[in-house]
Chains A and B, each alone.
Chain A
C-alpha cells in the first residue's frame, strides 16, 4: 500500500515511546561517533593554543634571519615582509629588526660594546624606567649606569665604517629601559634569548641594545655599515588556528626553509642562498599538543566504541519493541504478504526524521562535551564536517539496526521448522554471547587488553570492557531459563506471592530482555568497579612495595644511622645483581633490620601485610629466616656471589624494594652479614643499592633526611606511583565505564517501569476484576513491587557474579604498572556492589508500585466499554 509509505515519515508521532527510543538511539550514536574527532580536535587545538601562549606566537612563528643585507632599502624590505605575512595564512604582521654592532665612546664607559637595534614596537615591549619624551634612542639601565647618562642626554656611539674608520654618531637618549636580562619572561623577546643573556656562566654578558626607530637606523646605517643584519619574525596568529591548520603551517615553514633563499619573496627580503636562515618552534608546540591528545585519545575512543555498541544495541531493541507495540498492524501486513525486508525498509523511513533530530541532538551534545573537555579548543569547519559525517554514518547504522530489529521481529509463518532449523532453534541463543565472551577473553589474556600511547602510558582496550558485557548477556539468559524452571508452577497461598511467583515463572520475551539488559548494566558497573578497586589496591601496593614508606631515598649501602631521627627510618640493602636460586634463576635479595622495618614500612588494610611476618625474622639464626614474595618457588637456599646461603622461608608477602616478575627474599641484615663472614662473600654486595625508608609527612621529613649524614639522593614519595599517567588513564577509563554502567542500570529500571506499566495497562480489565475478588490495589502493587524487586535482585546478582568472574582472569592482564611489583590482586568492592544492588532493588520495588499506580490511572470502565 503506497499510503503506508506516504505516511511513514511522520508515523512515529503516534507511538511516542518508539519515537523517543529512536531519537535516543540516534542521539547516542551521533554523540559517540562525533565525540572522538571533536574532542580530539578540541584538545589538540586547546593544547596547541596553550603551547603558543607559553612559548609566544613569535617563537612559534617563522623567523627569517638575513645576516648581511645592504643598509639601504630597509623600508622596502619591511614592506616586502608585511606583504609576505599577508600571503601566508595564520601569520600575523611581521616584527622586523635591523641591527649592527657599535661601541660607546666619550663617556666613562667608553669602549663598551652595544648593539644598535631597530625593531618594530621594541620600545613598547620593554619596561620603562625613565623617559624624557620626544624622539631619540632608548638605552638599557645597565648602559645608563655605566655611562651616567640620563634621559635627555646624548649618547656617543662609535661605529667603524666599512673601511675601519671610526665614525661617531651622537644620539639623543629618549628613555631608559630595564635590561632585558631582568625581563626574561617577556614573550616579545622570545626569539632573542641568545642575544640577551649568555647560555653559560663564564663568558661576558652580551652587549645591551640601543633601541632606536627604523627611521633613525635607516638614516645612520648607510653611513657606517657595509652590511646590516635583518631579522623578520612572523608570529603565528592563534585565533581560529586548529591543530590541522598548525600542522599545515609547520609543513609550510619547512618548505620555506628550502625555498625562501631562492624565491622572489626571499629576494625581496634580501635573502641570498648562503646567508638566509629560517627557524620556527611550531613543530615543538605540535609535538606537545599531540602527546596531550595521545593521553586522552584511547579513553575517548573507548567511550566512543562503548557508546556506539550501546546505541546499536538499543537500536535493535527499539525495532523489536516497535513490532511488539504495533502487533495488530504487523499482523495485518504479514497476512497481506508484506516482506520483512519491506517492513524493515519502511521502518527505516519512519525512523528517518526522528533520527535526524537525534543526529542534531547528539552532535550538539558532542559539541557540549567538547566545551567541557576542552573549553578553549578550536574546531574548524573541516573537523565539524568530519564529525557530522561520522555522526551521520553512525546514525544511519543505528537506523539500520532499528530497521533490522523490526524486520527480525516481523511475524513469520509459524509451524514446524525444517529439522536443521529446529535443531538450531533448540540451541539456546546464549551460546552466541558466551562464545564471543570466550573469544574476547582469549584475546585479552593473550595480551590484547592494553594499548600503549606515544607517551608510554597504558590504556585498557574496548575488548577489556566487552568481555563482561557479552558474558553477562549469556549468563543472564541462561540463569533466567534456570530460574524459570526452578520457580516452575509453584503456587503459594497468599495472592501477593502467587501473582509475583507466577508472573516470574511466566517471564518471556520483553521481561527476559529487560532482565538481561539490567544484568548487563549491573555487570558493566560491577566489572568496572572491580577493575577500579583492583587498580586502586594494586597501585597502592605497588607504591608501598616500590617506595617502602612515605619517603624513599637511595643511600650508600654501607651507611648506618648515627643519630636517631624523630620519625621512623629504616635502611635496607637491595641486591638485584648477585643473587639467584639454586636452579640458576635470578632473584632479588632485600636485607634490613626487621625491627626498624616494622616501624618504618607502610602498608594498606590488606591481608598480605609484610610487616606481620617481620617478627619471625628477628630471631635470625641459620638457616636465615626469609620472607618470600607470593609465588616465589619453594627453596631452602639462595646463591649469593657464588656462595650457597641456606634460608628458611617463614612466610609469603610482597617485599618492599623488590622488582616485578622475579622472586624476592627479605632477610635480616645481621644474619646476612654473619653468613657473609662465614661463607666468604661480600656484604654489602657489589652493585647492591642502599635504600632508606622513612615514615612521616614528606614535606617535613625530606629536608631533615637531606641534611642528615645518610645524604639520600633521588628522594621519592608514594605519589610518584599514584600520580602515574597510566594509573590516571586507567582510573579515568574505569570511572567512565562505571558511569555508563550506572546510567545503563537507570535506563534498565526505566525500561522495567515501562514494561510493567504496559503490562498492567494491558491487564487493566483483569486487574479491575481481581480487585472485586478481594485482592486490593495494595496487594496488586505489592505483588508487582515484589516481582520487580526479585527481577532486579536477580539481574544484579547474576550480572555482578558474571562480571566478577570475568574480571578475575583479566585483572592481571590489565596491569597499569607492569614494571612495578607486586602483580595486581582481584579486589571486589563488596560494599559498593552490595550497596548499589540494594539501592537498585529498593528503586525497583518503588518502580513496581509506581507502574501499578500509573497503570491504574487508566479508566477500567472505559476499557470494559470499548472491549
Chain B
C-alpha cells in the first residue's frame, strides 16, 4: 500500500505589498500518495505556483500544516531546511533558465543517470552545451532533466510544458510517468489538459469567479491587412523561415500553428517589422502601435507602471483620449481589481493578459500575438480568445502564433508551419 508522500491542510499565504494584501492561497488541503502524479490546476493567480514554492521550502505558509516525505516542512529552519531542499524535493520554476546554473554545461549539472534522461528529452546532442547557450525550449527540457536526475523522492514542477510543443510535451509526460513508476512523487502545477489527464490526483485551486459575456458579434472580413508573400529569413546560415506565404484580412482571426522552433515567432517578427526578411514581400498596415500592435512572448510591460497605466500607455503616446476603453478591456480580460497593482504584483498569466490588453486597447488594424495563451489556464485562455474575437469583430486582423492545437477551434483560418515552411 502506498504511503502519503505529500500532505497539507489549511495552507494559506498572504502577500503584502504597497498595493495592499493579496491572498495568494487560501486554506488548501490535499494528500498525494507516494509514486503518484498530482496536478495542481486552476486559473492563473489561484496560487498554484505559491503552493509549489511552499512545498519546496522556498516560501513559507502563513497557516496550515505541511508534511512532505514524513517531514514537517513548516518546522524546518536553517540547515535542516537546506537539507530538505537538497535531498527531499526538486523544485523547477516556470522559466527554464531559472533552474540551471548558466555557466555550467548540461552534463556538469546532471545527477547520476542524468544522461539517459537527457537523451529521453531529446537533448543528447547538447549535453556539453552551456546552459545559457541553449534556446528557451531546450532550457525547459534541460531543467527537467537536471531536476529529475537529482533522484529526490518528491519532484515539484511549475508549468513544465507551457513553452513546449506537443511532441516535446509528450516526452515530458513519459518522463514524469516513469519517475512516478519508480516511486517518486510528482506534483505539477499546470494548465495543460494532457498533463492533467495523466495525473493520479488533481487539486483544483480557485479564485473568486470573474466572468464576462463572450463576444458573439459576427465578424465581417474586409480588406487584406497582412500579406506575407514568399518571405524567407535565416539566422547564422540556418533558414528559419522558408518562402512563407499567408494573408490575414481585416476582421479575421488567423492562427499560425507550429511546434517550438518551427519559425512561427520569427515570421511574426518579420511581419511586425522587428527584423527584415531576407527575401519575399510583406504588406502590413505599418509599424505604429495603432496600425500593428504586437504581443511578445516576453510581454514588455513597464515594471514601474501599474496594470492600468501600462494598458493606457498607447493613448499617451498617440495623444488619443479614449481611456474609457481601459477598464472595459481590463474587465474583458479578467483583470478587474488589478488596475493599481504593479506587474510584479500579479501572476505571470495576468501579466500576459495585461500585455494583450495593451495591444488591443487602441483597436489596431492588425495584431500579431505570439503564444498569447502560453501562461493561461483554460478559463483565462477562453477570455483571451474572446478578447481576440472581439477585436476581430471591431475590424482588427489578428495573426496568432501558437503551438496549441486547441487554438484552431477559435480560428477563421489556420496556417501550419514546420521548419519555416507554411504547409497549408
Do the beta carbons of B297 and A1 come within 8 Å of each other?
A: no
A644 is an interface residue with CB less than 8 A from chain B: no
The distance in angstroms between the C-alpha atoms of A498 and B293, with both chains bound, is 22
Do the beta carbons of A415 and B61 come within 8 Å of each other?
A: yes
Question: Which residue from chain B places its CB closest to the CB of A776 in the assembled complex?
Answer: B317
What distance in Å separates the Cβ of B278 from its nearest Cβ neighbour in chain A?
14
Do the beta carbons of B302 and A413 come within 8 Å of each other?
A: no
Do the beta carbons of B58 and A413 come within 8 Å of each other?
A: yes
B31-75 near A? 1/0 per residue, CB < 8 Å: 000000000000000000000000011111110000000000000
Do the beta carbons of A502 and B319 come within 8 Å of each other?
A: no
The distance in angstroms between the C-alpha atoms of A763 and B301, with both chains bound, is 8
Do the beta carbons of A506 and B91 come within 8 Å of each other?
A: no
Q: Which of B83, B274, B317 contacts A773 (CB 8 A)?
A: B317
Q: Which of A339, A770, A774 contacts B302 (CB 8 A)?
A: A770
The distance in angstroms between the C-alpha atoms of A55 and B204, with both chains bound, is 96
Q: Which of B81, B135, B294 contacts A769 (CB 8 A)?
A: B294
Question: Which residue from chain A places its CB closest to the CB of B288 in the assembled complex?
Answer: A772
Do the beta carbons of B104 and A770 come within 8 Å of each other?
A: no
A residues 488-510 near B (Cβ < 8 Å) are 489, 491, 493-495, 498-499, 502-503, 505-506
Do the beta carbons of B316 and A775 come within 8 Å of each other?
A: yes
Contacts of B303 in A (CB 8 A): 506, 763, 766
Do the beta carbons of A416 and B314 come within 8 Å of each other?
A: no
What distance in Å separates the Cβ of B51 from its nearest Cβ neighbour in chain A?
13
B285-326 near A? 1/0 per residue, CB < 8 Å: 001110001101111111111100100011011110000000
Q: Interface with B: A34-42, A145-153, A295-303, A857-865, which one?
A: A857-865
A420 is an interface residue with CB less than 8 A from chain B: no
Contacts of B235 in A (CB 8 A): 865
Contacts of B317 in A (CB 8 A): 495, 770, 773-775
Do the beta carbons of B98 and A331 come within 8 Å of each other?
A: yes
The distance in angstroms between the C-alpha atoms of A489 and B18, with both chains bound, is 11
The distance in angstroms between the C-alpha atoms of A499 and B86, with both chains bound, is 43
- By size class, the interface of chain B is 35 or more
The distance in angstroms between the C-alpha atoms of A120 and B304, with both chains bound, is 88
- How many residue pairs bridge A and B at CB < 8 Å? 149
Do the beta carbons of B79 and A335 come within 8 Å of each other?
A: no
Q: Which of B56, B98, B108 contacts A3 (CB 8 A)?
A: B108
B221-255 near A? 1/0 per residue, CB < 8 Å: 00000000000000100000000000000000000
Question: Which residue from chain B places its CB closest to the CB of A413 in the assembled complex?
Answer: B60
The distance in angstroms between the C-alpha atoms of A1 and B294, with both chains bound, is 42
B182 is an interface residue with CB less than 8 A from chain A: no
A336 is an interface residue with CB less than 8 A from chain B: yes
Interface of A is mostly: helix
B residues 145-166 near A (Cβ < 8 Å) are 150
Question: Which residue from chain B places its CB closest to the CB of A333 in the assembled complex?
Answer: B101
Contacts of B274 in A (CB 8 A): 768, 860-861, 864
B357 is an interface residue with CB less than 8 A from chain A: no
B residues 310-357 near A (Cβ < 8 Å) are 313-314, 316-319, 340, 342
The distance in angstroms between the C-alpha atoms of A503 and B56, with both chains bound, is 34
Contacts of A333 in B (CB 8 A): 101
What distance in Å separates the Cβ of B205 from its nearest Cβ neighbour in chain A?
19
The distance in angstroms between the C-alpha atoms of A773 and B85, with both chains bound, is 45
- Residues of A whose CB lies within 8 Å of any CB of B are 1, 3-4, 7, 11, 14, 326, 328-329, 331-339, 413-416, 489, 491, 493-495, 498-499, 502-503, 505-506, 763, 765-766, 768-770, 772-775, 860-861, 863-867
Give the 10 A-B residue pairs with the shortest CB-CB distance, closest first: A415-B60, A337-B86, A774-B317, A337-B85, A773-B317, A867-B298, A765-B300, A506-B304, A766-B300, A337-B82
Q: A763-B302, A863-B298 given. 14 additional CB < 8 A pairs?
A: A329-B101, A331-B93, A337-B87, A413-B59, A498-B305, A506-B342, A763-B300, A768-B300, A770-B300, A774-B288, A864-B296, A865-B269, A866-B136, A867-B298
* A-B residue pairs in contact (CB < 8 Å), sample of 14: A328-B102, A331-B93, A332-B98, A338-B86, A415-B61, A489-B340, A493-B316, A765-B298, A769-B294, A772-B289, A774-B288, A774-B314, A774-B317, A865-B269
- Residues of B whose CB lies within 8 Å of any CB of A are 13, 56-62, 79, 81-87, 91, 93, 97-104, 108-109, 135-136, 150, 235, 265-266, 269, 274-275, 287-289, 293-294, 296-306, 309, 313-314, 316-319, 340, 342
